[in-house]
Amino acid sequence: MSHKAGFVSIIGKPNAGKSTLMNALVGEKMSIITPKAQTTRHRILGIVNTDEYQIVFSDTPGVIKPAYMLQESMMHQVEGSIVDADLILLVTDINEKYDESDVMIKLQKSEAPVAVLINKIDQSDEEAVKQKIAYWQEKLNPKVIFAISALHQHNVKAIMDFIIENLPEHPAYYEKDFLTDRNDRFFASEMIREQVFKQYKKEIPYSTEVIITKFEEGDKLYRISAEIIVERDSQKNILIGKNGEMLKIVGTYARRSMEEFFQKKIFLETFVKVIADWRSKKNYLKQFGYED
């Protein structure tokens, strides 16, 4: 029996309702995996697995912000995930007034079928919806246009059917059972590591290890402590930055990622520790029970 699998890129402005749509689409079937990019191109939001198919939903970093906010590196990532996509869902907000020309240009580089999802129609009227549909039909001539309300699950099933129908035949990209057993400590450490990769020049990230030394789950608040381990004092100084500024930035962004991910308030403490050549001392880490 043939198996289908593919990358579905969800693109759209940060407030267009991508995450609400994701939750509506994948529901309980979601296997959450780390939000850290698997490659520079895919920020994986979620994976839906059944025996017949695997859908890998990936996000593009804030594609269609107004032009002055666009940074080149971000746009390269966007282009990567558009070019690699098997299917593209362009999520737009019915009330959105921005010029969408920058995304049009990017979409022309892709062979993938495009579905335009006009979201938040619950906040609009039939006339406006008709106008928007006509607009997208003319502008982009996509394979399909759905008028949806992700919040009220309106037309969500139709999108899912469209995706499954248009997925290429392909073996699964990720092991189906392996995705769900990563524990919360792993996710927390990955979110800190993601920030270390984002905020520092090349040499630092590769000499760091992130170890979660405390993970206390309260009803409303998670208390998390982490050690960022480096090999030399000079690296420690760079990581901490002048008056601790750099470490503060890492902590702030990592905390926000965690709050979004765990849906809880997070109290995060980060410490930087020097262990000379820790990379060659795996046993050192095992002793402390940090590694499985």
Residue 11's identity, in one-letter code, is I
Q: Is 18 annotated as a binding residue?
A: yes
Q: Is 60 annotated as a binding residue?
A: yes
Q: Is 119 annotated as a binding residue?
A: yes
Q: Is 12 annotated as a binding residue?
A: yes
Q: Is 181 annotated as a binding residue?
A: no
Q: Is 59 annotated as a binding residue?
A: yes
β 114-119/43-49 pair status: unpaired
Give the full edge-to-edge strand order of the sheet including 144-147. Answer: 30-31, 43-49, 53-59, 4-11, 87-93, 114-119, 144-147
Are the C-beta atoms of 75 and 57 separated by less than 8 Å? Answer: no
Strands (E), 70-143: 87-93, 114-119
Instruction: Please count the CA atoms within 13 angstroms of the CA of 279 that sit on its side-chain side.
Output: 7
Q: Is 19 annotated as a binding residue?
A: yes
Give dist(CA 187, CA 198) in Å, integer: 16
Q: Is 17 annotated as a binding residue?
A: yes
Q: Is 122 annotated as a binding residue?
A: yes
Q: Is 62 annotated as a binding residue?
A: yes
By the 10 Å C-beta count (0-12 exposed, 13-18 middle, 19+ buried), 33 is classed as buried
Residue 255's identity, in one-letter code, is R
Strands (E), the chain: 4-11, 30-31, 43-49, 53-59, 87-93, 114-119, 144-147, 209-217, 221-230, 265-274
Annotated binding site: 12-19, 59-63, 119-122
Annotated binding site for GTP: which residue ranges? 12-19, 59-63, 119-122
